[in-house]
Amino acid sequence: MSNWTEETLHADFRIRLRASKVLYDSKTDHQRLVLIENDTFGRVLLLDDVVQTTERDEFIYHEMLSHVPVLAHGAVRRVLIIGGGDGGMLEEMLKHETIEAVDQVEIDESVIDFSKTYLSSICGDAFADPRTRVVIADGAAYVADCAARYDVIVIDSTDPIGPGAALFTETFYGNCKRCLNDGGVLVTQNGVPFLQAAELTQTLAALKDLFEDATCYLATIPTYVGGPMAFGWASDNPTLRHIDDAELARRYESSGVATEYYNPAVHVAAFALPGYIEAMIR
């Protein structure tokens, strides 16, 4: 590998990150896993040449995909995370002391082992928390057969290529809905709409067929370039997306969770969509 590594996610657009050091480069049974050191972003994890997370900006992604559904719901006890082998989503969820159990389903056990060794700054001790149950399995197969029920399900997937492709189908989302408790929330990773419109439009089309309330919300993450990133939102309880500002602030304060990006005002504003994104999901 040269001093520069190039992300190959987009056909007509490339980003490059300088690798001051290559810390790891190996193929697992499912994908190529590379870890570089970058002077701006710290340790950067790439799967099949696509940036997954960085030490410097991971907090934005993980805070917005965890605290938005948890605080909107207000009474989350059980959470399912599909994907998220870096452990950042798990670590963020476990900051809520009221959450009693988090099941994490990851297809590639080597990613979890790798993260414990090389990305402890992101996952902390989350995998050792007694509330955590790790299941090494295909996420689509897990929800198809799952008897458990959850208040929040987070799809912390890669993009719809390789192992992640099965996590973007209507069948999969329908099985996720079956695994939700009444009034539960499903949130999904849906890429950068400006460059990955199909990823969002296809997901929202499926979610709107399945749920009473389906939309997306946004956050800007520096290494996911091309504009704000979209997170799908789906629930059969439409009131959760319109929670009173004062109540949201009360829940945030009482949670005791410290955040660097998320706050109640950002939570509310994240659902305000630019015209080009509104047009995509109409």
Q: Which of 86, 151, 156, 159 is catalytic?
A: 156
Q: For 51-91, write each residue's pLDDT tens digit.
A: 999 999 999 999 999 999 999 999 999 999 999 999 999 99
Which secondary structure element, helix H or strand E, spans residue 277, and what is its range? helix 275-281
* Residue whose C-alpha is closest to residue 108's, from 88, 146, 128, 134: 134
* Residue whose C-alpha is closest to residue 204's, from 213, 268, 43, 2: 213
Is residue 156 annotated as part of the catalytic site, yes or no?
yes
Q: For 158-179, write each residue's pLDDT tens digit.
A: 665 555 566 778 899 999 999 9
What is the pLDDT confidence band of residue 29, given thresholds at 50, 70 and 90? confident
pTM of the model: 0.93
Count CB atoms within 10 A of the CB of residue 71.
24
Contact 83, 190 (CB under 8 A): no
* φ, ψ (nearest 5 deg) of residue 254: -75, -20
* φ, ψ (nearest 5 deg) of residue 112: -65, -45
For each of the domains in the chain, give its residue range(s) and CATH number, in order of start.
Answer: 4-54 (2.30.140.10), 58-281 (3.40.50.150)
